[in-house]
């Protein structure tokens, strides 16, 4: 089981990619290798979320992934499990399951098949929060799916549950200004995480985030960038951030599938993954010209390290 750390959630918390074997089953050993590498690289914890392909894993697959991640994490840091679902009942079931495994926190997106107003969205998140005793990260995943969450939902939840129980991962564009609006509307009480893959990390850090949830593929660069931001080393910050931003821009061109294809390619290139298998159907595949540019930018990031 993984331990729910007594400290508030913070720092660099990479979102894990789910490795699969040739039969389409989750590759437990490769997943453990990915988690080991994350902690060895300096991660403060690990996360199961959108680029873990949770929307394509199915009910049993999501529970199995949460179990494997919590078992492999071995109390080395935070463990955050995404529990968002199309019904409040199912989201609560996923949340209780994660808490039972010892997860540090859960994270949830709103339902994506139904367009909800502010009250229904607030009630959905409140239902999840009331069902567990660990923190809930309220995620706006509108960069991938669904619609942006209204600011009033965030402030109402924070007022109802407090910042030790409700945290935030806003992703609606423009990310930086929206993050500042949430910060200011809550008098700086909201604990906010960004998940732009690194492309907005410098800007968001300067706006007062508690942490970042990038992909695992560029984790060594993101950890080094986070430390440079902590140190206020401006030359180092831009030496690292500029090639990271350029590479993430390539991922963004195809949305979630762009991140999946390129990030799994890089994990295989690093020798952490055996293959680049994704759950199908997938809307975009890495072509040779994009692959060549990814290789050039990845080499620049490694040189900067």
Residue 227 burial by CB count (10 A; 0-12/13-18/19+): exposed, middle or buried? Answer: middle
Cβ-contact 207, 176 below 8 angstroms: yes
pLDDT at 1 over 50: no
Least confident of 35-39, 144-148, 212-216, 294-298: 144-148
Judged against a pLDDT cut of 80, whether residue 289 lies above it is answered with yes
| Residues in Cβ contact with 287 at an 8 Å cutoff, skipping those fewer than 6 apart | none
Distance separating alpha carbons of residues 231 and 229, to the nearest angstrom: 5
Q: Is the pLDDT of residue 5 over 90?
A: no
Report the pLDDT averaged over residues 143-151. Answer: 79
Q: What is the mean pLDDT of residues 22-36?
A: 97
The pTM of the full predicted model, rounded to 2 decimals, is: 0.95
Q: What is the pLDDT of residues 34-81, one digit of tens each?
A: 999 999 999 999 999 999 999 999 999 999 999 999 999 998 999 999
Average pLDDT, the chain: 95
pLDDT, residue 141, reads 77
Each residue's pLDDT tens digit, 218-229: 999 999 999 999
pLDDT at position 6, please? Answer: 67
pLDDT over 70 (residue 143)? no
Q: Which H/E stretch holds residue 194?
A: strand 193-194
Question: Is the pLDDT reported for residue 283 higher than 60?
Answer: yes
- What's the pLDDT tens digit per position in 95-139? 999 999 999 999 999 998 888 899 999 999 999 999 999 999 999
Question: What residues contact residue 253 under an 8 Å CB cut-off, 6+ apart?
Answer: none
Helices (DSSP H) in 108-200: which residue ranges?
Answer: 118-131, 151-161, 175-185
Alpha-carbon span 93 to 100, nearest angstrom: 11
């Amino acid at each position: 089981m993984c331990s729910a750390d007594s400290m508030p959630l913070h720092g660099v918390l990479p979102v894990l990619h789910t490795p699969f074997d040739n039969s389409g089953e989750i590759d437990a050993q490769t997943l453990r290798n990915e988690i080991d590498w994350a902690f060895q690289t300096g991660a403060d914890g690990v996360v199961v979320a959108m680029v873990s392909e949770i929307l394509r894993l199915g009910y049993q697959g999501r529970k199995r992934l949460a179990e494997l991640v919590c078992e492999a994490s071995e109390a080395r840091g935070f463990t955050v499990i995404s529990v968002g679902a199309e019904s409040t009942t199912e989201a609560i079931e996923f949340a209780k399951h994660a808490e039972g495994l010892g997860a540090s926190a859960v994270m949830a997106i709103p339902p994506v098949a139904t367009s909800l107003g502010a009250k229904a969205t607030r009630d959905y998140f409140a239902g999840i929060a009331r069902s567990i005793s660990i923190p809930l990260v309220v995620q706006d995943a509108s960069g991938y799916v669904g619609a942006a969450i209204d600011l009033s939902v965030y402030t109402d939840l924070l007022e109802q549950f407090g910042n030790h129980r409700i945290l935030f991962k806003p992703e609606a564009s423009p990310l930086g200004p929206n993050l500042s609006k949430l910060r200011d509307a809550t008098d700086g009480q909201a604990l906010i995480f960004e998940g732009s893959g690194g492309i907005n990390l410098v800007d968001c850090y300067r706006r007062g985030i508690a942490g970042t949830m990038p992909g695992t593929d560029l984790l060594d660069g993101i950890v080094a960038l986070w430390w440079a931001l902590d140190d206020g080393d401006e030359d180092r910050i831009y030496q690292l951030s500029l090639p990271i931003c350029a590479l993430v821009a390539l991922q963004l061109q195809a949305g979630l599938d762009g991140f999946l294809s390129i990030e799994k390619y890089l994990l295989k290139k690093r020798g952490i993954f055996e293959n680049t298998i994704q759950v199908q159907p997938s809307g975009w595949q890495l072509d040779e010209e994009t692959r060549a540019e990814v290789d050039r930018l990845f080499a620049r990031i490694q040189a900067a390290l």
